[in-house]
Structure 1
Amino acid sequence: MQTQVEKFETFRALHQQGETFVMPNAWDAGSAVILAAMGFRALATTSAGYAFSVAKRDSFAELSRAEVLRNAGQIANAAELPVSADLENGFGHLPQDCAETVIEAVETGAVGGAIEDATGEAERPIYEISEAVDRISAAVEAARGRPFLLTARAENFLWGRPDLKDTIRRLQAFSEAGADVLYAPGLPDLAAVRTLCSEVDKPVNVVAGLQGEVLNVAELSEAGVTRISTGGSLARAALGALRRAGEEILQEGSFAYAAKAYPGGELASLMSRGQA
């Protein structure tokens, strides 16, 4: 069993190996165990996937720091893999809010986390760049000396501001402030991904299954991407399977969906590993 520091070293090395890797997003402990057993080398959490699992919307108003970090801790403890936590916008507007969130994330067992520059406010969806940089700087300082790799997110494309030039400028500023990984969710196509990767000096994370052009690992690797995450798309895929099964029962009166279900015995064996 690896210590948290050993998981951090493993996670950091993945970003330095010169090879693109996929870091799927688990939404609870059970999904984390399944993904870890499949052979992935690191996992992330997803605020969207967690929100769906507790019948909430993925929004700043509905998800508290305490419950998101509790979910992150459950995932980190369930999987013998490095886990990077979705830390929303740091759960507060002030730089010290971001710092406190990083410190508490480390305490859950996570070895990384992402903080975004979205405010959660309709009238000003994105922080001004100076304010955003101050927030990332505080998170960087909080991570110093701790086993934690900080990802800085520029959210323009998710909030109706499809400005690639400004997105790159923000990520460059976050890099200068000390962020370890850079991330701009919602990029529209491979050309935008390639341009972004060529303009920054830190590893780039791209989310798959969100919006824009459907790309594969080989294409993203060629464009210069270091890390690929899946956001809430795996949770949505699982819920999609649930809906299709329910529709089959209601509309056809049949249960053929069960033939494709995860075998119960295999799940029982998988979930019991490490338990007394």
Structure 2
Amino acid sequence: MLIPLAILLAVASAVFYAISAVLQEREASRQSAAGLGLMARLVRRRVWWAAVGATLTGATLHVAALGAGPLVVVQPIGVSCLAIALVLGARVNRTPISPRSWAGVLCVALGLPAVLAAVPHHGPHGAPPAAGAGLGFWPVVGVLAAAVVVAAGAGLVCGRRLPRGAAVCYSVGAALCFGLASATAKTMLLGHLTPERVALTAAAALVGTALAQHAYRGGGLGAPLAVLTLLDPLTAGAMGVLVLGEPFGTSPLTLALGVLGLVVTAVGVGLLSARRPAVTAAEPDAPVPVGATSRG
């Protein structure tokens, strides 16, 4: 394995993911519309499409990094995306990063690798699962879809009264969608390519993107990005176990460390969800007042 190359590719992937998050948050926070209106405005913004391109580039580099080096090297580097995004966001918005936000980044950086270590990771090129393995694809999809609806509904209920809670709820729904899209794509690579699964993958990616914009719009960079980084691989890994019948492959010690890491990560998300000053959204091309996008 080419470890130095894997590290270089993983760092580049984290940088592109961070750039994408900063650009998405910047564009979403400048819009006054919500729901479909928010997406209708964003798709007309070149900067937002640049963020989409940065996401695709980051994903390609991440796959290349996994091909060049082991997961235990690549995955922890990906967590640096959160710190890189906060630094870039502070430079773009010309705002300082609070000590509370740095403490949140530290908690996520310490806790998230432990959680991800407990997630089953298997390459997409293995043999298809035996018949009867797992719980069945569509029942699991139905449960995840219901969870997405609940998360999005909770975000709507929280609304403007609890914007931080709404942002976390939206990011949970987005992460579930992205994890579902990744796992569904994997089942197609294993020989289950059907029009229904292609449509499901596209729909999950689109819904996840829309929910992520709402999360960035109300919650800034830190908490939504931390939740996405945590739940996306967890969802995909859980589907691998439940649908494909993949072995869990986690020892009791690793599982215990994963649970502890989950608690630490949750604390970090809470710190990154620090209250922000109330802001009136600006029009898409209007200048944003100094401090209007302060995160912390």
What TM-score, normalized to structure 2?
0.28
Relative contact order higher in (CA < 8 Å, ≥ 6 apart): 2
What TM-score, normalized to structure 1?
0.29
Task: Give the helix-richer structure, 1 or 2.
Answer: 2
